[in-house]
Amino acid sequence: MQGVISHNKNKFIIFALLGFALLGDAMLYVVLPTKVEVLALTAGQIGILLSINRIIRLGSNSWAAYIYEKLGRELPFYLAVLAGSATTIGYGVSQTFWFLLLLRLIWGFSYSLMRLRALLEIFSSETKESFQGRLSGLYRSISMSGYIMGMIAGGVFADLFGFTNTSYMLGFISLIGVITLIFLYKIKYKPYDIKTQNNIDRKIIKTFNYLEIFTNRSFFILLLAGLAVHFTSSGLINSSYGMFLKDIFGVEVNLGVFGITIGVASLNGLILSSRSFIELFFSPFLGWLVDKFRNRNLIFFALLLKSIFLILLAVSGNLIFVIILPLLIFFLYSFLIIVLYIKANVFKHQTTAFRMAGITTAGDLGAALGPLTLLIIDKGISLSAVYIFSALLLLIIAYLQSLK
């Protein structure tokens, strides 16, 4: 592992920049579902706000590749990091639905640029295949550490100081961190030219060749797995768990074992931030695990376990279960993300940029559909029923994976 670290120091700076930029996005997933009435937004509007940044990535992932081809790696990446951080301050300026929608679109496009830059560095020709899992794990560990602060601080600050002040505080922290890293560390890379990689056709970059995906059955099933993994975790659980807790416990939760009572937003923040703790501390190990067992049917068994945990979560109202089961779900989520990256890179029918754009776009679609399920909550469908449906979706895709 030490060899991986010493050889990729500059990559870690890129991952850290993503961590700072992610503060505001993480805060929204914790705070918005628990502040519906205060912000005068409906559950459906919150679902749209938490999904629109993923919806725009269905196109912006391929646009990002084209932008890097035309302008190089440095300027677009830094502008994206700065713009993504600035949106957090914008959340405090106005909480009208249309203004927040605009900021979420800006964030979604910015994140496409940031994430593609990181993945292209990991899966470049200079990276040994035996290190790709570990480097992917380190990317998840370092970049997602911003979610820990965004979710925990966002939930606690929102309970103490309100949504507006929380947005300003986290926004300034995000911008100061990003600007400091940009000026303290001069990152030098060879310009990335997609045209030189397997003579890729520029038209493919612009339009994203969906037909190629559907004609490759194995790759298409892999994309379905990516969609389902993100739908259940970064989409559905992230956007709805505050409401799930509120339905069970109300606005405050009595932690009887510890003799204290905390706000549901704070508890939601602690639970959802556990995903970032898992990625921070376990992703490097999970990456090593994937490198070691990459030829096994890892996706099938992980999807099967995840579906079981979702069903248990849906039918249980026990405090211990609603805390522990999300941790297990997020652990499997972190593991599956790394597996999906590695499996996507195995297919050689297209370039690295195309494969990474494909798997990230599938994930973004799933993550976008997750918050949109809040629209049916407005129609009276329970979250428990939605969680069970999601578990069945995982089981179906696990079965398809076993047939390959």
Q: What is the pLDDT of residues 131-143, one digit of tens each?
A: 677 888 888 888 7
15-24, 201-210, 212-221: segment of lowest average pLDDT: 201-210
CA 390, distance to chain mean position in Å, is 18
Q: DSSP for 86-137, please give it.
A: HHHHHHHH---HHHHHHHHHHHHHHHHHHHHHHHHHHTSTTS-HHHHHHHHH
194 is a domain residue = no
Task: Give the number of domains in the chain.
Answer: 1
Among 157-161, 324-328, 352-356, the range with the most confident prediction by mean pLDDT is: 324-328
Rounded mean pLDDT, 264-287: 81
CA 367, distance to chain mean position in Å, is 8
On the CB side of 366, how many CA atoms lie within 13 Å of its CA?
26
Among 176-190, 204-218, 227-241, 264-278, the range with the most confident prediction by mean pLDDT is: 227-241
Q: Which amino acid is at 207?
A: T
On the CB side of 342, how many CA atoms lie within 13 Å of its CA?
29
Domain containing 104 equals 2-185+210-403
User: CATH number of the domain that 307 lies in?
Assistant: 1.20.1250.20
Q: What whole-number distance in Å separates Cα of residue 268 and Cα of residue 29?
A: 9
203 is a domain residue = no
Examine the pLDDT at 260 and tell me if it is beyond 50: yes
Q: What whole-number distance in Å separates Cα of residue 366 and Cα of residue 217?
A: 19
Among 251-255, 269-273, 359-363, the range with the most confident prediction by mean pLDDT is: 359-363
| Closest among 114, 116, 123 to 16, alpha carbons compared | 114
pLDDT at 358: 79
The answer, as to whether pTM is greater than 0.85, is no
199 is a domain residue = no
**Which has more confidence, 193 or 186?**
186
In the structure, what pLDDT confidence band is assigned to residue 294 with cuts at 50, 70 and 90?
A: low
**Which has more confidence, 130 or 392?**
392
Q: DSSP for 263-307, please give it.
A: EHHHHHHHHHHHHHHHHHHHHHHHHHHHHHSTTS-HHHHHHHHHH
278 is a domain residue = yes
In the structure, what pLDDT confidence band is assigned to residue 330 with cuts at 50, 70 and 90?
A: very high
Q: What whole-number distance in Å separates Cα of residue 314 and Cα of residue 19?
A: 31
Examine the pLDDT at 202 and tell me if it is beyond 60: no
Contacts by 256-264, CB closer than 8 A, 24 or more apart:
256/319, 263/34, 263/155, 263/159, 264/34
Q: What is the mean pLDDT of the chain?
A: 80
Q: What whole-number distance in Å separates Cα of residue 246 and Cα of residue 106?
A: 30
139 is a domain residue = yes
| Closest among 105, 114, 109 to 74, alpha carbons compared | 114
In the structure, what pLDDT confidence band is assigned to residue 193 with cuts at 50, 70 and 90?
A: very low
Examine the pLDDT at 46 and tell me if it is beyond 80: yes
Rounded mean pLDDT, 209-213: 55
192 is a domain residue = no
Q: What percent of the chain has pLDDT over 90?
A: 22
193 is a domain residue = no
| Closest among 190, 177, 171, 169 to 17, alpha carbons compared | 177
- Contact indicator for 159, 265 with CB cutoff of 8 Å: yes
- Contact indicator for 355, 221 with CB cutoff of 8 Å: no
In the structure, what pLDDT confidence band is assigned to residue 73 with cuts at 50, 70 and 90?
A: confident
237 is a domain residue = yes
pLDDT at 174: 92
153-162, 183-192, 297-306: segment of lowest average pLDDT: 183-192
b/e burial code for range 134-150 (CB count within 10 A of at least 16 → b): bbbbbbbbbbbbbbbbb
Task: Provide CB contacts within 8 A for 224, sequence distance 6+.
Answer: 362, 397, 400
pLDDT at 4: 47
41-55, 248-262, 356-370, 382-396: segment of lowest average pLDDT: 248-262
Burial of 55 (0-12, 13-18, 19+ CB in 10 A): buried
Examine the pLDDT at 210 and tell me if it is beyond 60: no
Rounded mean pLDDT, 301-324: 89
3-state secondary structure of 255: strand
Q: β-strands 252-255, 260-263: how paired?
A: antiparallel
89 sits in the region (left: phi over 0; alpha: psi -120 to 50; else beta) called: alpha
Neighbours of 98 (CB within 10 A): 8
